[in-house]
Structure 1
Amino acid sequence: MIVFPAIDLKAGEVVRLSEGDMERATVYGDDPAAQAMMFAESGAEHLHVVDLDGSFAGRTENREAVEAIIEQFPGYVQLGGGIRDAATVEGWFNLGVARVVMGSAALKDPEFVKEMAREWEGGIVVAVDAKDGMVATEGWAEVSNVPVHDLARRFEDAGVASLLFTDIGRDGLLKGVNIDATVELAQRVDIPVIASGGVKGLDDIHVLSIHAHEGIEGVITGRALYEGKLDLAAAIAMGQRS
C-alpha cells in the first residue's frame, strides 16, 4: 500500500484546510519544493500535490510551485486541482507528472475523462469526494445529488488508474479515516481506491493496510505529518508490508 504525503498549495504556500474550507487554512511553509524534498528524505517515493486555488478557479493557479516540486522531487508526483481540459492534462504529463487527478470534470464531463484515461494509460485518477455520501465538486464548494458509488461505477472499464476517495467531513481534522466507507467503495468497484481525509496516526495506516487486498491501493496524509502525529518513514514501512 502506497503512502502519499500531501502538499496542498494556496498562494504558493504549503497549507492544510479543514473540511475543504479555504477560510480555514493552516500554513505550514512557504517553500513547497523544500517540503517535497523533506518527504523524499523520509523515504517517500510518491507525492500527492493539490493546487487548491486551481480547484476553485477551474484552472492552474500555482504553476511555479508545482513545477519546482516536479523538478526536485525524485519520485512520482500525483497532481490535482483545476485540471479540466486536454491541453492542461498533456502539459502536466509533458512536465513529468506521473498521474493527474480529475474530480469536477469526472462528474460534469465523464466522457472527456474517459478519453483522457484512454490516451494517458495508467495516468488518470478520478477523485470521488464525498459529503454525506454525495459527490462534491468545484473544490468541494458544490455538492451534487449523485451518490459516490454511482459516480465510481461510471468509470469501471474506462482505464482509470485509481479512485481517490475523500470524506470531506473528516479532511484536515485528524478524526481518523472513514475506513468503512473507503473499504465499501473498494469492494463495490473493480478500480483500486486511494483513501484520503482524516488520517490521525499510524493506526489508520495499519487498518487500511489490512484491507489492501480488497482494493485499497494507498492513503494520502497531510496534517498528521505536519503536526508530528505520524512518522512518515514508519507509515511507509507499514504500507510496504501489506
Structure 2
Amino acid sequence: MTLTLYPAIDLKDGACVRLKRGEMDQATIYADDPGAQAAAWEALGFAWIHVVDLNGAFAGKPVNAEAVRAILAAVTIPVQLGGGIRDLNGIETWLNAGVTRVILGSAAAKNPALVREAGAKFPGRIVVGIDARGGMVATEGWAETSDLAATELAMRLQDAGISAIIYTDIARDGMLSGLNLNETAALAARVSVPVIASGGVADIADIVALKAASRTTRNLSGAIIGRALYDGRLNATEALAAC
C-alpha cells in the first residue's frame, strides 16, 4: 500500500506557521498567503492538504475561516481540516464549503457521541485526531491532559464510521526529533481504521521507516509533515517517491 503524505498548513492569525510542541508563543511564520502555500504543495505532487486552525483549537470555534476558504479556492486536491470544530453544524458548514474531511480532536475526546453521530451522518468524512502527551490524550489545543489513554480512545471510536485516526505525539511535534513510530504502530495494530502518524518527522529516514513499518502493520497509512518540509530538510519529490 502506498503511504499518503499530508503537508501541514497550521493557521495562526491568518498566516501559515509551525509551532513547537503546540506552544502558541513558539510560532515560526513560514508564509503569509496560505492559499499560495497550499497551491505550492499541490504543484509538488502531494495528494492531500492537512489544515489546522490553531486559534480555533484554543478558542473552541473557527477563527481562521477566511484563510481556510483561500486554501480551498487555491487547490484541486482534497483538504482535511481541524481546529475548533465542536458540533454537527460546524462539521456540515465546512463539508459544504469544500472541505473533504473534518478532524475532530478535543470534541472526540470529550464528546464521543458527536463522533458517532457525525460518522453516521457523514460516513468516510470524519477523522479523529488523537493528540497524546506521554500516551495520554491532550485536549483544548493541547493545554489540558486527560487521564484517558490514546489507545483506549482509538479503540472506542474505531467503529464510529470514521475514515482515519491521526496520532500526534505532542512531545515531538515541530521538534524534528523523528516520528514516534513504536507508539504509532502499536496503536495502528489495535484498530481497524487507517492511522496517520504525526509529530516529529525530521527527514527522509522517517518516511523510509514508516514505509517499512507499514508492510507489517497494515493500518499505518501515512504521515503529516510540517517543519521538515518548510525548513527544506525533507525534499518533497524524494519523500513521495519513498512512499
Which residue of the partner structure matches residue 167 of structure 2? 165
Which residue of the partner structure matches residue 233 of structure 1? 237
Distance, in Å, in 1 between the alignment partners of 2:127 and 2:188 is 14
Does the 8 Å CA contact 1:102/1:124 hold for their aligned counterparts? yes
User: Partner amino acid for 2:9?
Assistant: I
CA RMSD of aligned residues (A): 0.8
Within 5 Å, which residues of 2 pair with 1:87-126? 87-126=89-128
SS in 2 for 1:5: strand
Which residue of the partner structure matches residue 221 of structure 1? 225
The Cα of 1:225 is off from its aligned counterpart by 0.5
Distance, in Å, in 1 between the alignment partners of 2:158 and 2:143 is 26
Q: Structure 1 residue runs of 4+, over 2 Å off?
A: none
Within 5 Å, which residues of 2 pair with 1:1-242? 1-213=3-215, 214=217, 215-239=219-243
**Stretch deviating more after TM superposition (80-89 or 230-239):** 230-239
The Cα of 1:209 is off from its aligned counterpart by 1.1
**Which deviations, in whole Å up to 9, do the C-alpha atoms of 1:133-161 show, x marking residues without a partner?**
10000000000000111111111221111
Unaligned regions of 5+ residues in structure 2, if any? none
Unaligned regions of 5+ residues in structure 1, if any? none
Does the 8 Å CA contact 1:130/1:165 hold for their aligned counterparts? yes
SS in 1 for 2:79: strand
User: Partner amino acid for 2:133?
Assistant: K
Distance, in Å, in 2 between the alignment partners of 1:12 and 1:3 is 24
**Stretch deviating more after TM superposition (230-239 or 6-15):** 230-239
SS in 2 for 1:60: coil
Calculate the TM-score normalised by the size of structure 2.
0.97
Does the 8 Å CA contact 1:174/1:224 hold for their aligned counterparts? yes
**Which deviations, in whole Å up to 9, do the C-alpha atoms of 1:162-195 show, x marking residues without a partner?**
1100000000000000010010000011121000
The Cα of 1:67 is off from its aligned counterpart by 0.3
Distance, in Å, in 2 between the alignment partners of 1:57 and 1:128 is 18
Distance, in Å, in 1 between the alignment partners of 2:224 and 2:190 is 21
The Cα of 1:29 is off from its aligned counterpart by 1.1
Does the 8 Å CA contact 1:45/1:74 hold for their aligned counterparts? no
User: Partner amino acid for 1:223?
Assistant: R
Distance, in Å, in 1 between the alignment partners of 2:229 and 2:6 is 11
Distance, in Å, in 2 between the alignment partners of 1:9 and 1:20 is 12
Distance, in Å, in 1 between the alignment partners of 2:197 and 2:235 is 18
SS in 2 for 1:219: strand
Distance, in Å, in 1 between the alignment partners of 2:144 and 2:26 is 17
